[in-house]
Amino acid sequence: MKKVITSESVSVGHPDKTCDIIADAILDEALKVDKDSQMAVECAIKNDKLFLYGEATTKANLDYEKIAKDVLKEIGYKNDFIITKEISQQSPDIYQAVVKKQLCANDQGMVYGYACNETKELMPMPIMVAHKLMKKYDEFRRKGEDFFADAKTQVSILYEDDKPVQFDCIIISVSHSAKIQWQEVKEIIEKEVLKPILQEYSSFYVKNSKILINPSGKFTIWGSFSDSGCVGRKIVVDTYGGVGRVGGGCFSSKNATKVDRSGAYYARYIAKNVVAHNLADKCEIQIGFSIGLAKPVAIYIECFGTNKVPLSEIESYVFNNFDFSLDNIIKELDLLKPIYKKTASFGHFGREEFSWEKIKN
């Protein structure tokens, strides 16, 4: 059976992703001072205006404006921004439900973790290729002045019998100076971004693929001056590219007691270990949490018929080797450190530097 699966990625200058990065930069600055900070400070951006809003209960004295402006400058904005803040402490009703002798979930909700064996990262191939293209573009554009931070890519891959066999279509759109013509943009991006990434794959993957570079023809107005942005609007980009399911809650801005984030990281950790230990070709873990409870209310394991051993053995492996209590999730994955800004772009999964990507013996 043949099918085509498509995933996208966005670069740091995409306004939604810019907001994710700012939110996680704020979280990191709080954690540097107070590892028990309870944070959920988000932002929205349009033109030269940035709105910071949310909740923060922390011992850290945060200069929110400076943190945001430093990120904007790092991304590539050269203009000044007008920043408005609306930030309060976390509701004491929520705080007393979370901070107990044993930490409890900050909210109800379900999360998913997914892994498959079609790439060395044990991730779906379309999203991994899309992220690689965006990361390569971001590295390239920082070397000069003619290309800007805002960019998107979309990768469609043909599957036969559930295995990726060929790139069907690759789209990449990048912002650029008005002095560069469309044909020149196409030639530069093909040479500096596409070829270095596609050469990692066999010629069979690339043969007969459709390549579209800046199909709009012009992309000279970028970032918040082209579009508005908000935290948490790229949850499919952040996870599995539409292949594995997502729970609906975003990651960025949230500290580890927010199970939208920590629970999803742990679910990926378990799913990856199931596949890494060759118990299944694919694995998806669903975890359901309740506010005020230390352990999940529900756990579900799905291997889509690819399991190499009975599902009961996989369940035994999971429940004998993984502790789903929030206290343990935070401890085992070491989630009280200021690690979050770097998660906000190029995907939260499939990157070996993160603790939830390690293989457990």
Edge to edge, what strands does the sheet with 163-176 contain? 2-10, 147-160, 163-176, 210-213
Residue type, 155: V
Beta bridge partners of 38: 57
CA-based torsion, 136, 236, 124, 335: positive or negative: positive
For residue range 223-236, what is the model confidence (pLDDT) as tens digits?
Answer: 999 999 999 999 99
The amino acid at 78:
K
Name the residue among 132, 27, 129, 12 with its Cα closest to residue 72.
Answer: 12
Q: Which residues is 82 bridged to in the sheet?
A: 49
- Three-state DSSP class for 324? coil
φ, ψ (nearest 5 deg) of residue 278: 60, 35
Per run of 10 residues, the mean pLDDT along the chain (length 361 residues) is 96 98 98 96 98 96 98 98 95 71 77 97 98 98 97 97 94 97 97 94 82 96 98 97 92 94 97 98 96 91 98 97 95 97 98 97 85
